Amino acid sequence: MNVLLLALSTVSNGKLNCFSYQYEDEPSFNGYYQLEPIPKFLNEKLEKEKQEHLDYIITLNTKEVNSSVLDTVICNSKNGIEYEFFNITAKMFFEKMLCNGQKAFQQMPKIISIPIDVDDIIPGIILAMNQLRKLKDKSNDFNLYIDMHGGPRNTQMTFQTILSLLKHESIYPSSIYTIIMNKSKPNTIKDDTKYFDYIDFVSGMNEFLNFGKPISIKSLNNLNDLSLRDFTEKANQIADALTLCDMSAFQKSLEDMSNWLNNREIKQDSLLELFIKNIRMDYGVLLKENHDVIDEIQWCLTKGYLQQALTLIESKMPEELFKKGIFHYDENFMVEIKKDPDKSKIKVKDAIECAKAAQHREWESDINYIFIKWIKVLDIFDKDDNGKHISFELNKTHQEYLDFYLPFWPDFKNKIFLTVSRGKSVALKVMLKNEIYINQDLQDMCMRFLILHYTLKQERNIANHAIGERKTNVYDIKEAIAGYIDLARILYRA
């Protein structure tokens, strides 16, 4: 099904002169009404190239187009009066001219008129959208064409709104045409589809920068700009990683984007140049080689990617804390196996592997495994009468997480016991950064940080694995993550 969407213009009362129109190198043809050429040209093009024709023309009509009656419309050619109409509206005149003159329709398409008010275009847009949906549902091969050059003053805005709405339903125009008026040669029928693709790309870029959504490759089909395609590939890698909550892929895609921005070859007239500054501002420190996981968590929090921020906390923060020396242990240190008559020793890293295997947690990194076991042995959570840990409630502002009351003083000397075989284990002591040991305020901050880390990990697991009912609301999770970030940065500065 081939459908043309256009906006009708009013017609002058009295005499109309003949104009010549041409598409590329094809023979020119004559017409009198400015909305006459493109339907005729397009219908002939479809017949020649696809042995098809225009099935429907949807016209957007103002009240003047529909109801203002013209006493006389005379179509003048070089040879005198060619057509003469009496008591006719612009809508009727348009239909008459499709049936007459050069390239006249042999089989008239069905014309569907949509009333539109220049002062309130929304009702007309809704009617047009509903009509286009109905036609789309009737055909498995739906082709939409747009004639952009007619209609009232806000036609461009109306069409752009309709096209944006259609995009969300995966309906893209096959071609968009307009007419360039020339003085000394035939007026030019021009294919302007690529300008819609520019608008589409800009819209996609705004969605990407504001919400991290992928940019549709469809919008780049007519853009002969390899830098745009390269960027879109990198941008979609970031968006896909965020969508899948794959934070390792997210970190890798950020690195790829940074490398591409630093080594890009972009044409000076490329549309992408307009966005380079915005991209650098939006991703900021994440494009720098020395950014840390806390920067990524802050970015996710700002964008509203809470589950992604929680995943970074759960999966990436322990290793970062280890690298920064906030907590540490020597994986190559030899520790004695308890209850072993031979008093054998084993490397810490091998003991961790044995302990993980015993719990079927081989998939977990050594550092993440040790970090959570260490938090548990510190015994920093309230307990009920049965000795069971009471969950810490996330119900504070982010500032309150810096000084909330601590019911217990942890013993940072407590050791982790790792089972290496049946009845045998080793003791592992996890060390804190020296500056934390000698500063009570930093110890308090560290304890609050560890409580928050463990609690946020549980929040992440509740959502990811559907293991319980989440009782914390979005606001409280945002505040807790913000408090976690503040505490981490205090410990980083220690």
- Confidence bin at 38 (pLDDT 50/70/90): very high
Q: Spell out the SS3 assignment of the chain.
A: CEEEEEECCCCCCEEEECEEEECCCCCCEEECCCCCHHHHHHHHHHHHHHCCCCCEEEEEECHHHHHCCEEEEEEEECCEEEEEEEEECHHHHHHHHHCCCCCCCCCCCEEEEEECECCECHHHHHHHHHHHHHHHHHCCCCEEEEECCCCCCCHHHHHHHHHHHHHCCCCCCCEEEEEECCCCCCEEEEECHHHHHHHHHHHHHHHHHHHCCCCCHHHHCCCCCHHHHHHHHHHHHHHHHHHCCCHHHHHHHHHHHHHHHHHCCCCCCCCCHHHHHHHHHHHHHHHCCCCCHHHHHHHHHHHCCHHHHHHHHHHCHHHHHHHCCCEECCCCCEEECECCCCCCEEEHHHHHHHHHHHCCCCCCCHHHHHHHHHHHHCCCCCECCCCCECCCCCCCCCCHHHCCCCCCCCCCCCEEEEEEECCEEEEEECEECHHHHCCHHHHHHHHHHHHHHHHHHHHHHHHHHCCCCCCCCHHHHHHHHHHHHHHHHHHHCC
Q: Between residues 42 and 279, which one has the greater pLDDT? A: 42
pLDDT for residue 214: 62
CB 261 within 8 Å of CB 280:
yes
- Confidence bin at 464 (pLDDT 50/70/90): low
Q: What is the pLDDT of residues 171-205, one digit of tens each?
A: 888 999 999 988 878 999 999 887 777 777 777 77
Please compute the mean of the pLDDT values over residues 151-171 and round it to a whole number. 82
pLDDT for residue 196: 74
Q: Cα separation of 333 and 348, whole Å?
A: 6
Q: Which residues contact 67 (CB under 8 A, 6 or more apart)?
A: 89
In Å, how far are 220, 290, 431 from 355, measured between CA atoms? 52, 34, 20
Query: Which sign does the torsion angle of CA 205, 211, 217, 221 carry?
Result: negative
Q: Assess whether pLDDT exceeds 60 at residue 467.
A: no
pLDDT for residue 295: 94
Q: Assess whether pLDDT exceeds 90 at residue 260.
A: no
Q: Assess whether pLDDT exceeds 60 at residue 218.
A: no
- Confidence bin at 131 (pLDDT 50/70/90): very high
Query: Which sign does the torsion angle of CA 167, 173, 174, 179 carry?
Result: negative
Percent of the chain, pLDDT > 70?
Answer: 94
What is the rounded average pLDDT for all residues in the chain? 86
Q: Cα separation of 66 and 209, whole Å?
A: 43
Q: Between residues 381 and 147, which one has the greater pLDDT? A: 147
In Å, how far are 320, 394, 412, 447 from 454, measured between CA atoms? 16, 12, 16, 11
pLDDT for residue 55: 95
Q: Assess whether pLDDT exceeds 60 at residue 217.
A: no
Q: What is the pLDDT of residues 334-360, one digit of tens each?
A: 988 888 777 789 999 999 999 999 999
pLDDT for residue 469: 61
Q: Cα separation of 181 and 186, whole Å?
A: 8
Q: Cα separation of 92 and 76, whole Å?
A: 18
pLDDT for residue 215: 64
Q: Assess whether pLDDT exceeds 60 at residue 222.
A: no
In Å, how far are 11, 34, 78, 163 from 16, measured between CA atoms? 9, 11, 12, 32
Q: Assess whether pLDDT exceeds 60 at residue 221.
A: no
Give the pair of three-digit tokens for residue 70.
Answer: 């013209």
Q: Cα separation of 432 and 138, whole Å?
A: 69
What is this structure's pTM? 0.69
Please compute the mean of the pLDDT values over residues 317-324 and round it to a whole number. 94
Q: What is the pLDDT of residues 52-105, one digit of tens each?
A: 999 999 999 999 988 888 889 999 888 888 888 999 999 999 999 999 888 999
Closest to 272 measured CA to CA, from 219, 232, 221, 213: 232
pLDDT for residue 219: 52
Q: Cα separation of 200 and 202, whole Å?
A: 5
CB 157 within 8 Å of CB 164:
no
**Angle, helices 247-263/306-315, rounded to nearest 10 degrees:** 100
Q: Between residues 227 and 20, which one has the greater pLDDT? A: 20
